[in-house]
Amino acid sequence: MLELIVLGTGGATATAGRDNTSFLIKTERERFLIDCPGGIIHKLKKVGEEPQEIAYLFLTHIHPDHIYGLPSFVHSLQLEAKELFIYGSAETVAFAAKLLDLFELRQPRLKYRTSLLPLETGKEQDLPGGVKLKAIPTPHHSSSLAFRFTFPSSRESWLFSGDTPPHPPLWEEARSVDVLIHEASAPKRFFELYPQLRQVHTDAYELGRLAAQAQIPCLIPCHFFGEVDFSLQEIAAEVRANYGGKLIIPHDLERWTDLMIKKMA
């Protein structure tokens, strides 16, 4: 069974109900963490997961709300005789190395080891347990990648966009996935007020329109801005203006299995 654990759904500014966006994919054998903002250890324990069981971390890009918790994560596990494999673009893993070295977290005295692995884009790569990974560059930042995971147990593909404006190569990839987890940072009214946002993010209305065109079976919006005032009901309404597929508006610390998603109307 596959499980998606929502560790955070917010953007750069957290709110009382939403922390920075991060996810845990749980398979029968492995745990794949996507992005590492602050408080990851605390949130994992709140949902009943053991941080030391995570061996694979995927970083979408180097903006603080996606990577600033990495030193704390490694520091918290320094007495564990384990290894963490950290994946991202070449720019991201180089930045992650500097960040860890700033806190002397790659020293031989630490039992917890880190291996930094730059990803080749546009090509499927093998992960443990027969999982396939494809990294797709996105234009949010020079370090940005989206991640497509294909799981042998269910033969399903889940695509995580990271932060990104609408990007045709990413949407072409999305046409063949079962679940798309894509940012919908705010309703379109804020993008009309601040049009520069369209260069780096996607609004809820545009996400719904593109998801309808790509015939996405299941859509999970995320990365909701905390700096401006709107409700998740407004996000859902804008997506639904065009999109009629399965829609999950996630909340922090929720769990969704592949079976739950399949049973949705």
In the numeric block, which tokens belong to residue 91?
A: 């720019």
Residue 158 domain-assigned? Answer: yes
Residue 10 pLDDT > 70: yes
Looking at residue 227, its pLDDT comes to: 95
Considering the domain boundaries, does residue 246 fall inside one?
yes
Instruction: Look up residue 223 and give its two tokens.
Output: 């990365």
**Would you place residue 57 in the very low, low, confident or very high pLDDT band (cuts 50, 70, 90)?**
very high
**Cα–Cα distance between 38 and 43 in angstroms, integer?**
9
Strand ranges inside 119-249, DSSP E: 125-126, 132-137, 145-151, 156-160, 179-183, 218-222, 246-247
Residue 1 has a pLDDT of: 84
pLDDT for 94 beyond 80? yes
Question: Which residue, among 207, 261, 202, has the nearest Cα to 238 in the 3D structure?
Answer: 207
Q: In whole angstroms, give the CA distance from residue 172 to residue 179.
A: 14
Residue 185 has pLDDT above 70, yes or no: yes
Distance between CA atoms of residues 145 and 172, nearest Å? 15
The CATH number covering residue 55 comes to 3.60.15.10
261 belongs to a structural domain:
no
Q: Is 43 within a domain?
A: yes
Residue 4 reports pLDDT greater than 90: yes
pLDDT single digits (tens) 13-49: 999 999 999 999 999 889 999 999 999 999 999 999 9
Containing H/E element for 193?
helix 188-193
Residue 75 phi/psi, 5-degree rounding, is -60, -40
The mean of the pLDDT values for the chain is 97
Average pLDDT over residues 129-138: 96
> Does residue 260 lie in a domain region?
no
Contacts of 103 (CB under 8 A, 6+ apart): 71, 75
Cβ atoms < 10 Å from Cβ of 211 = 25
Give a yes or no: residue 256 inside a domain.
Answer: no
Evaluate whether 235 touches 221 at the Cβ level (below 8 Å). yes
Q: Is the pLDDT of residue 218 over 90?
A: yes
Question: What would the pLDDT profile of 140-150 be if each residue is shown by its tens digit?
Answer: 999 999 999 99
Quote the CA–CA distance of 84 and 77 in Å, as a whole number.
10
- Residue 257 in any domain: the answer is no
Give the per-residue pLDDT at 265.
65
Domain holding 225, by residue range, is: 3-251
Coil, strand, or helix at residue 231?
coil
- Specify the pTM: 0.97
- Percent of the chain's residues with pLDDT above 70: 100
Q: Return the sign of the alpha-carbon dihedral for residues 2, 171, 191, 217.
A: negative
Closest CA to 10 of 23, 2, 1, 21: 21
Q: Which helix (H) or strand (E) holds 85?
A: strand 83-88
Residue 69 has pLDDT above 70, yes or no: yes
Nearest alpha-carbon partner for 41 in 52, 27, 57, 30: 52
Q: What is the pLDDT of residues 230-251, one digit of tens each?
A: 999 999 999 999 999 999 999 9
Q: Dihedral, CA atoms, 160, 162, 168, 170, nearest 10 degrees? A: -30
What is the chain's length? 265
Is the per-residue pLDDT at 109 higher than 80?
yes
Q: What number is the average pLDDT over the span 100-124?
A: 97
Strand, helix or coil for residue 8: strand
State the pLDDT confidence band at 153, using cuts at 50, 70 and 90.
Answer: confident
* Domains identified in the chain, total number: 1
259 lies in some domain = no
pLDDT at 155: 87
What integer pLDDT is reported at residue 154 of this predicted model?
Answer: 79
Burial class of residue 147 in the structure, from the number of CB atoms within 10 Å of its CB (0-12 exposed, 13-18 middle, 19+ buried): buried
pLDDT at position 242, please? Answer: 98
